[in-house]
Chains A and B, each alone.
Chain A
């Protein structure tokens, strides 16, 4: 077959190459025990439908909190030095649907934020971040209803490692 005249040949070869990489990096992880395990902390994040935490998580997604906050603690010097809680493992996320890893820390990591802040602090901070943390670049969420704010705070406070 003269490949330089066969679009079908290119099509099939391109697909086969794609499937090799997709198999290795997308399919194989499904067979990794570490990847599929459920940790105690993940159980604490299995919110009942309609609970304040579940609704708060919806608001976290709706307002795009994950565009500036990660929920990942890595075993690297920076994360250990920042003292943001125990290193997170795949099992911690088993009930995160969708996942909220995030990719940028414009603001601090929130993986275990419930373990280092209080509900009162979070509520006041959401309404006016600059008053609580001068110099903060976080938007004010004073436009949210009291119910939304309470739910969001409930969600944030639930983010803590299992005892």
Chain B
């Protein structure tokens, strides 16, 4: 019933992930439009703002990004270890289950069965399903590592192994039922989850993937292996402490806020090791960016990653948080790493691997360019409108401006955000169409010279 063909599980994870990317980003556009005109798709509980928003967040995080990550692990781990995936059949079975689970999740959320806990809205039975899926993925990847022919573990593998340890642990803490832990304690655990699922799953898998792709795309080995390991151990040490910085100035003890703030600032270390490695590898290779859309995506992703991780520590400071917390600034920041950095890495992985799996050249380079430019332009419009609106709101609230005045004041920016968001989504339709046409009508793919370069330095 389930295919055992090499790389079929990775391919199926990626292709279905693209479907969920479109669906969940459309849900995002719906909420963006609802913030402009609340009657849009109104009058029915199934499409009310408060239900569509969790569909957007769960969709992009649990469906699109997580499935892309699994696809990356299923493709890259066998490549790096010169060992076939332990079980393609299990991988394909996991993929089918994952899609069934997400479909059930969308229906459940639209029907209003939410736990009410942000980013952990899924009810317990779906949480258990997600946990099962994570275990199935971990078993497949870890067994592949166990059976490996290549003994040396390249840094991508380090990141993947770490992520597979951290994801289940983070997920459990975040989804403990409210009946057991409620109140401020639960809020603290909520943000432990909300923060670490980004930092110890999306970031670490994304960086692992980036470390595989960069040498492949440039034909140059990673600048410094040691630096990449310093990056890995510092993110593993500091990231997990960051949860409480989401509750700065909120009703939690001061010591807990500080336990979250100080490691946030130290996080600049792992971010900078990654950036230094990228810049070092790119030295003398910058001309390649000009005609390689994948490299454009990669460099842009790393710039957004750096920006997100400079904004983060800055926002965690009590004085800064006092201005921008609860404002539109936050969605501007929150989209930068998941979209601008790690979705971009996902796009590259798919653009890079699909020709190598299917033997077909990417259908249109022009569409790839459109995908890149619209994604970047759309995101910048989105983010800057939110950042400006957020700062305006923050200072207006301090001046005791009536709340509705502040809503009217930022309305133009909310409208511009929807325009930026529309561009971001149009870009993804180009992406999906391009991948679809590649499979349908792509020319034969010839392996180029860069394949000869080993990823390991």
What chain B residues lie within 8 Å of A136 (beta carbons)?
38, 404, 407
A10 touching B38 in the complex, CB below 8 Å, given contacts A25-B260, A78-B394, A104-B331: no
**A7 adjacent to B50 (CB under 8 Å):** no
Complex contact A96–B256 (CB within 8 A): no
The residue that B326 contacts in the complex, of A34, A83, A104, A134, with Cβ under 8 A, is A104
- In the complex, whether B300 has a CB less than 8 A from a CB of chain A is no
- Which B23-54 residues sit within 8 Å CB-CB of chain A? 34-39, 42-45, 48-51, 53-54
Residues of B within 8 A of A (CB-CB), count: 90
Choose one: B146, B178, B188; the contact of A25 (CB below 8 Å): B188
Which one, B146, B190, B330, contacts A99 given CB within 8 A? B190
Min CB–CB distance B421 → chain A (angstroms): 15
Chain A CB within 8 A of B169 CB: yes
- When distances are taken between beta carbons in the complex, the residues of chain A under 8 Å from B259 are 24-25
Flag if A5 contacts B322 (CB, 8 Å): no
Q: Mark B104-117, 1 if CB is under 8 A from A, else 0.
A: 00000000111111
The answer to whether B399 and A17 have CB atoms under 8 Å apart is no
In the bound complex, what is the Cα–Cα distance between A72 and B323 (angstroms)?
15
Report chain B residues within 8 Å CB of A100: 116
Query: Given A18-B236, A78-B398, A137-B36, are A143 and B253 also a contact pair (CB < 8 Å)?
Result: no
In the complex, the answer to whether B189 meets A7 with C-beta atoms within 8 Å is no
CA–CA, A10 and B376, complex, Å: 36
For the complex, is B179 an interface residue (Cβ under 8 Å from A)?
A: yes
Residues of A within 8 A of B39 (CB): 139-140
Interchain CB contact under 8 A, B42 and A140: yes
Q: Does B408 contact A (CB under 8 A)?
A: yes
Q: B interface vs A, CB < 8 Å?
A: 34-39, 42-45, 48-51, 53-54, 112-118, 142, 145-146, 151-153, 157-158, 161-162, 165-166, 169, 173, 178-179, 182-190, 192, 200, 233, 236-241, 243-244, 246-247, 249-253, 255-256, 259-260, 263, 322-323, 325-327, 330-331, 393-394, 397-400, 403-404, 407-408, 411, 414
